[in-house]
Chains A and B, each alone.
Chain A
Amino acid sequence: MNTPPILSPLRSPSYAALTAALLLWPGRGHAAELERHPYLQSATNTSIVVVWTTEQDSSGAVEVGPSPDQLTTVVPSAGVGKQHEVLLTGLTPDTRYYYRVIGDDAPLAGGDQAHTFLTSPPPGTPTKFRAWIVGDSGKGNDKQLQVRDAMLAHVGRSQPHIYLHMGDMAYDDGKYDEFTDNFYAPYADILRNTPVWPTLGNHEGASSDSGSESGPYYDGYVLPTAGEAGGLASGTEAYYSFDYANVHFVVLDSHDSNRAPDGPMLTWLQDDLLATEQEWIIAYWHHPPYTKGSHDSDSESKLIDMRENALPILEAGGVDLVLGGHSHIYERSFLLDGAYDTPSQAGVGVLDDLDGSPLGDGPYQKPPGLTGHQGAVYVVAGHGGTGVSQDDEHPLMYFAEAKNGSCVLDIQGNRLSLVNIRYDGEVTDRVAIIKGDGMIVTSPDGGEALEAGQSREIRWTTVGNVPKVELELSVDDGATWTVIEDSIPNTGSYTWTVPAANTEHALVRVSDPEVPARSDESNATFEISSTVTLTPVDFGHVWRYHDQGEDLGEAWHAADYDDSQWSEGPGQLGYGEGDEATELLDADPNHPSAYFRTEIELPEGEMLDAELTARFDDGIAVWINGKEVLAVNVDDGTDHGAWASAETEDDEPVTTPVDLGALHSGHNVITAMVKQSDEASDDLSFDLKLVATVQLEPPPPPPGGGSDGGDDDGGSAGSGGGPDDGGGLDGTTSLGGSGSALPPTVGADDERASGCGCVTRGRTRGSAGWLLGGLPLLVLLGRRRRALAHR
Chain B
Amino acid sequence: MPFEWSRWLLLGSILVGASPALAHPGPSAALRSLDERIAATPNDVALRLRRAELRRSMGHPRDALADLRVASRLDPTEREVWLEHALTLIDLGKPQAAERELTRVIEAGPPHVRALAERAHLREADGRLELARHDLDAAIAVDQALDLYLARGHIDERLDHLDAAAAGYREGLAALGPAVLLRLALADVERRRGAHEQALAVLDGLLAENPSRADWVLRRADVLQDAGLSEAATAERMRALVLAHAAVQRRPTPLHRLVLAKAHLALGQRERARKQLALVLEQAPALPEARTMKAHLDESLAPQGPP
Contacts and interface: CB of A to CB of B under 8 A. Distances in A.
A567 interface: no
Nearest to B24: A389
Contacts of B304: none
Given A235-B177, A271-B180, A397 B59 contact: no
Interface string A226-240: 110000111110000
Interface string B23-34: 111111110000
Interface stretch (A262-270, A523-531, A578-586): A262-270
Nearest to A399: B6
Contacts of A309: 288
Interface stretch (A314-322, A668-676, A701-709): A314-322
B165 interface: no
Interface in B130-185: 142-143, 145-148, 150, 172, 176-182, 184
B253 to A, nearest CB: 3
Interface stretch (B193-201, B254-262, B267-275): B254-262
B287 A316 contact: yes
Contacts of B259: 274
B23 A387 contact: yes
Interface in A197-236: 206, 209, 211-214, 225-227, 232-236
Nearest to A354: B2
A214 B143 contact: yes
The size bracket of the interface on B is 35 or more
Given A206-B50, A373-B284, A387-B23, A316 B179 contact: no
A403 B255 contact: no
Interface string A279-293: 000000000000001
Given A233-B180, A301-B59, A389-B23, A294 B30 contact: yes
Contacts of B145: 211-213, 236
Nearest to B47: A172
A353 B59 contact: no
A401 B114 CA distance: 38
A294 B181 CA distance: 36
Contacts of B6: 393, 397, 399-401
B181 A353 contact: no
Given A211-B145, A261-B288, A294-B30, A233 B21 contact: no
Contacts of A463: none
Given A212-B113, A373-B283, A402 B180 contact: no
B39 interface: no
Nearest to A311: B286
Interface string A387-427: 11111010001111111100000000000000000000000
B283 A403 contact: no
Interface stretch (B7-15, B95-103, B227-235, B293-301): B7-15
Contact of B286 (A212, A340, A403): A340
A573 B28 CA distance: 72
A312 B287 contact: yes
Given A294-B30, A312-B286, A387-B24, A372 B142 contact: no
Contact of B146 (A234, A313, A399, A403): A234
Contacts of B283: 316, 372-373
A234 B183 CA distance: 11
A294 B28 contact: yes
A388 B177 contact: no
B57 A301 contact: yes
A273 interface: yes
B58 A299 contact: yes
B43 interface: no
Contacts of A299: 27, 58-59
Nearest to B113: A212
Nearest to A258: B147
B2 A353 contact: yes
B76 interface: no
B289 interface: yes
B213 A211 contact: no
B77 interface: no
Nearest to A383: B20
Interface of A is mostly: loop
B26 A391 contact: yes
Nearest to A173: B46
Contacts of B255: 270, 273-274, 313, 316-318, 372
A393 B28 contact: no
A205 to B, nearest CB: 9
A382 to B, nearest CB: 10
A234 B180 contact: yes
A302 interface: yes
Nearest to A276: B251
Contacts of B46: 173
B284 A315 contact: yes
A315 B143 CA distance: 34
Interface string B236-271: 000000000000001111111111000000000000
B20 to A, nearest CB: 5
A46 interface: no
Interface string A64-93: 000000000000000000000000000000
Contacts of A213: 143, 145
Contacts of A226: 177-179
A216 to B, nearest CB: 16
A312 B114 CA distance: 28
A595 to B, nearest CB: 61
B20 A388 contact: yes
B284 A389 contact: no
Contacts of B288: 261-262, 309, 312-313
A33 B286 CA distance: 54
A409 B253 CA distance: 24
A300 interface: yes
Contacts of A227: 178, 180, 209
Nearest to B37: A172
A355 B4 CA distance: 11
A404 B23 CA distance: 12
Nearest to B176: A235
B143 A372 contact: no
Interface string A121-161: 00000000000000000000001000000000000000000
A334 B176 CA distance: 40
A351 interface: no
Nearest to A143: B20
A669 to B, nearest CB: 57
Contact of A236 (B3, B146, B253): B146
A330 to B, nearest CB: 10
B117 interface: yes
Given A212-B113, A264-B146, A387-B24, A302 B254 contact: no
Contacts of B3: 393, 397-399
A268 B29 contact: no
A122 to B, nearest CB: 17
A499 B207 CA distance: 55
B180 A232 contact: yes
Nearest to B10: A390
A273 B148 CA distance: 24
Interface in A250-267: 257-258, 261-262, 264, 267
A338 interface: yes
A389 B20 contact: yes
Contacts of A397: 3, 6
B23 A301 contact: no
Interface string B42-61: 00001000100000011100
27 contacts: A209-B113, A225-B179, A227-B180, A233-B178, A234-B180, A235-B177, A258-B147, A264-B147, A270-B255, A271-B181, A295-B28, A300-B57, A301-B59, A302-B57, A315-B284, A316-B254, A318-B253, A328-B24, A338-B284, A372-B252, A389-B24, A391-B28, A393-B6, A399-B2, A399-B5, A400-B6, A402-B20
The 10 closest A-B pairs by CB, nearest first: A235-B179, A372-B253, A294-B29, A212-B143, A402-B21, A312-B286, A316-B254, A316-B284, A226-B177, A387-B23
Given A275-B210, A387-B23, 4 more contacts: A211-B143, A274-B255, A274-B259, A391-B26
